[in-house]
């Protein structure tokens, strides 16, 4: 039976040092302001990592069920179309590149597309990505730093992508949830 887990929602301004609680620059943002205090979801995740440890928190069988990881970017005005395309190309490449040390895939599915809603509620966001995982453990391994720090507990491909994309982004919003049956 899949259970509804806590919503793990971290906007670009809430992503911070979840383990230490020390404000840091958000991973997708090269010139972001300091991160304010942690929201309820971030506090819950921090407490959970401390409770179960990084090994368990990032294990493939930790809290199995369909987990959706929604990411939305607003590109900087000076980011060229070619640079935007390269960010998206590299993001989509994570579907194959994100692997555990044993070679097993972390991502179940990855979809992407530009903002096309006419509802006038996009908050200036340009592009969205939907990453699907088989468990919270897979999602936790993929997200990695700053939530987990230990070698072998985070996805180096995703970590490298965050460093690459940061200079091109004005804003990143992340919202995760476990699908309820």
Give me the domains of the chain, ranges plus CATH numbers.
40-176 (3.30.70.100)
CA distances from 157 to 4, 154, 166 (A): 29, 9, 14
Q: What is the pLDDT of residues 78-112, one digit of tens each?
A: 999 999 999 999 999 999 999 999 999 999 999 99
pTM: 0.81
Q: Which of 7, 5, 68 is nearest to 40 (CA)?
A: 7
d(CA 68, CA 112): 13
Q: 26-74, pLDDT tens digit by residue?
A: 444 443 445 568 899 999 999 999 999 999 999 999 999 999 999 999 9
Query: What's the longest Cα–Cα distance across the chain?
Result: 48
Angle at alpha carbon of residue 31, lines to 28 and 36, rounded to 5° = 80
Token couple for 166: 């940061």
């Amino acid at each position: 039976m899949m259970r509804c887990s806590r919503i793990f929602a971290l906007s670009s301004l809430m992503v911070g040092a979840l383990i230490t609680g020390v404000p840091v620059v958000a991973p997708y943002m090269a010139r972001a302001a300091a991160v304010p205090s942690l929201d309820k979801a971030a506090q819950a995740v921090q407490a959970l990592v401390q409770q179960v440890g990084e090994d368990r928190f990032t294990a493939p069988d930790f809290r199995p069920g369909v987990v959706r990881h929604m990411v939305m970017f607003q590109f900087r005005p000076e980011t060229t179309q070619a640079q935007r395309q390269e960010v998206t190309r590299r993001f989509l490449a994570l579907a194959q590149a994100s692997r555990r040390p044993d070679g097993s895939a972390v991502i179940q599915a990855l979809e992407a597309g530009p903002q096309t809603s006419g509802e006038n509620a996009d908050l200036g966001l340009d592009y969205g990505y939907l990453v699907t995982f088989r468990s919270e453990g897979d999602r936790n391994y993929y997200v990695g730093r700053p939530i987990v720090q230990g070698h072998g507990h985070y996805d180096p491909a995703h970590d490298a992508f965050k460093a690459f994309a940061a200079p091109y982004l004005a804003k990143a919003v992340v919202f995760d949830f476990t699908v309820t049956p």
